[in-house]
Chains A and B, each alone.
Chain A
Amino acid sequence: MAGYRLVDVAKPFLPILPEVEVSYEKVSFDDKVVYTIISGLIYLFGQFPLAGISKDESNVKDPIFFLRGVFGAEPKSLLEFGIFPIISSGLILQLLAGLKVISVNFKLQQDRELFQTLTKLFALLQYFVLTNIFILSGYYGENLTVVQIGVLNLQLVGAGFIAILLTEVVDKGFGFASGTMTINTMVIATSLVADTFGVSQITVDAEGHKEAQGAIINLVQGMRSKHRTFLGGIVSAFNRDYLPNLSTTLIVLAIGATVCYLQSFRLDLPIRSTKARGVNNVYPIRLLHVGALSVSFSYVLLTYIHIFAFALIHLVAKNNSQSIICKVLGHYETVNNILYTPTFPLSLLTPPRSLLSGLFEQPLTFVVYTGFMLITGVWFANHWQAMSGSSARDIAVQFKEQGITLTGRREQSVAKELEKVIPVASTTGAALLALVTVIGEVLGLKGKAAAIVVGVATGFSLLELISMDYQQTGGQSALAQVLGAPGRF
């Protein structure tokens, strides 16, 4: 297959797929803020309930409930799969290109365009495949008519396509950083607020009692509700397991604070100018050099494994525990009529529903799941730092262009010195983040731990980018004036 490249697959689609044009003029700070927020809001608004699914409860429950948080996926809505296809397609194709598995010459304009189209195409394909796996498994109800299947496909793939374009708007310089990052942070922040202060009342038992979604609102309501004692209300606010409770909210906040703490770990390398004497400064190397991407990557892999297993178990073996596939992979069991948890071999990669049930029913999970998160996270960080544009070599080139060097080093050995620090920083950071995630997940947060790790880490870097941009524009922002915050960052 000499001369054949994967990027060429995208060639026929190049004229068909719509593309966001890069802006001709520089996008002003205020515009960027508006674009960033609005694209996030459109995404949030897009979490519409699906039309055309059968009304009675399906036997097939949500098999990926613990993976949804990281990808902003809302069950039974237009964004059933969230931005998972976009993140996975971007990460995996870039990783493959970086590892030279698929050959792309990023110096050529045409190759870049092809690669970009390929990424979009791959994301769209994933939306399509995921949709049909879920439809065929009976997740949206059994015995759907052809029309219903068509309508579902149209909704889910169509919404996915809009999501792809939304992220592209931000990516192409109309917003800050990358689109998936922005959307992710917004969705995670929203669900955090909804879980804490959410006022919507949800019927929780057969007698029709209603409780608020938000943990704090529920606490206040529980104290004065009629069907509970004062103390009972408080206890239930802390340990109800059908809706967010105060304990999980507190754990989530603690994890967020930990990530903030880790985020500000840095090694300050002393630098000096090669042109002017006596100009000394420091260049910070962050502990979280690759940010939360390592956690995202682990979760992308985890999702692939689970979706693949789900497809095999449901489409081929029909979730029949006698079938050979189910004996090898395990099958799904419904817990509390809401959760769908896999049994033995597959359960190794499923974080437990709660700490206690995990300890008694699936103790091996702790080892395997932790190992999986650590190994994939570290492996990813190690490769990503070398090709992400902020590798030791790239930074050394930047140093040279700006006429700076590490204090006490010759210019030639700068790259070597950075080479000693950056890979260690990225892998250590990835391992720590993986551990924080695992600790939270093992406590039974059902995906919220991973979500808050990704959310806070990306939110932090967004904040940093925004404040940098703000300073570069000299604080000339009407928005900041309206908000009355000159240089609050």
Chain B
Amino acid sequence: MARINEKSQGASQIEKLTDAPLEFVKEGQQFLAKCKKPDVKEYTKIVRAVGIGFVAVGVIGYAIKLVHIPIRYLIV
């Protein structure tokens, strides 16, 4: 619920201008209420998959970046 509150706060600045944002927030809240949220098991699975992917790719990328350091000394 906290996230929904933040949202209405964020939108409240424009609220005065028109009614449209109000309705937008209401529709959004209704949609969020109907949404299926992940349970703990599913969520940990997702975070693990994304985490492993991110770290694996990041480590490969960083290895490439390390090669840059000696080259940087040569050029600059």
Contact = CB atoms under 8 A, between A and B. Distances in A.
Interface stretch (A161-169, A192-200, A232-240): A192-200
Interface in B1-52: 3, 6-7, 10-11, 13-14, 24, 27-28, 30-32, 34-38, 42-43, 46-47, 49-50
Interface residues of A, number: 58
A425 interface: yes
Interface string B43-76: 1001101100111011111101111110110011
Contacts, number: 135
A189 B67 contact: no
Chain A interface, DSSP helix/strand/loop, else mixed: helix
A427 B13 contact: no
Given A49-B76, A189-B61, A371-B13, A425 B31 contact: yes
A435 B27 contact: no
Q: Which of B53, B59, B69, B71 has the most CB of A within 10 A?
A: B53
Interface in A73-91: none
B56 to A, nearest CB: 8
B26 to A, nearest CB: 10
Interface string A44-57: 11011101000100
Nearest to A190: B61
Q: Which of B30, B59, B61 has the most CB of A within 10 A?
A: B61
Contact of A49 (B34, B49, B57, B75): B75
Contact of A185 (B57, B59, B69): B57
Contacts of B57: 37, 40, 185-186, 189-190
Interface string A224-268: 000000000000000000000000000000001100110111111
A391 interface: no
A130 interface: no
A267 B23 CA distance: 20
Nearest to B74: A49
A439 B42 CA distance: 26
Contact of A265 (B10, B35, B62, B64): B35
Contact of B64 (A45, A375, A463, A489): A45
Contacts of A45: 64, 67-68
Interface string A421-446: 10011011001100100110000000
Interface of B: 3, 6-7, 10-11, 13-14, 24, 27-28, 30-32, 34-38, 42-43, 46-47, 49-50, 53-55, 57-62, 64-69, 71-72, 75-76
12 contacts: A37-B60, A41-B64, A45-B64, A45-B68, A267-B34, A370-B10, A374-B14, A421-B31, A425-B31, A456-B50, A463-B49, A489-B49
